[in-house]
């Protein structure tokens, strides 16, 4: 069995969740030809992805500033 551990801040987890919901909503909108779902899904997907990347960069910068003992 493989165990995957990913340490994320609560904000990064929230951003990843929003991006995942947006992806599902965008696919639903495309498959069912529902314009509002496709538009909102795309917005949530890209917005969540951008926020996730910003938070990951912020986490890495914060970790590099902490002195290692």
Please check whether residue 40 is in contact with residue 25, taking contact to mean a CB–CB distance below 8 angstroms: yes
The residue among 64 and 11 whose pLDDT is bigger is 11
Would 1 be classed as within a structural domain? no
- pLDDT for res 40: 97
The domain total for the chain is: 1
The Cα–Cα gap between 30 and 19 comes to 16
Phi-psi group of 33: left, alpha or beta (phi > 0 → left; psi -120 to 50 → alpha; rest → beta): left
Range of the domain at 49: 17-65
Would 29 be classed as within a structural domain? yes
Q: Can you tell me the mean pLDDT for 40-56?
A: 95
Please check whether residue 21 is in contact with residue 47, taking contact to mean a CB–CB distance below 8 angstroms: no
Would 4 be classed as within a structural domain? no
Would 30 be classed as within a structural domain? yes
pTM, entire model: 0.79
- pLDDT for res 69: 65
Please check whether residue 41 is in contact with residue 27, taking contact to mean a CB–CB distance below 8 angstroms: yes
SS (H, E, C) 18-32: HHHHHHHHHHHHHHH
Q: Can you tell me the mean pLDDT for 44-65?
A: 92
- pLDDT for res 59: 87
């Amino acid at each position: 069995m493989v165990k995957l551990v990913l340490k994320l801040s609560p904000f990064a987890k929230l951003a990843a969740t929003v991006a995942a919901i947006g992806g599902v909503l965008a696919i639903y909108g495309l498959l069912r030809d529902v314009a509002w779902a496709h538009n909102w899904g795309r917005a949530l997907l890209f917005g969540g992805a951008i926020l996730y990347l910003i938070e990951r960069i912020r986490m890495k910068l914060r970790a590099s500033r902490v002195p290692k003992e």
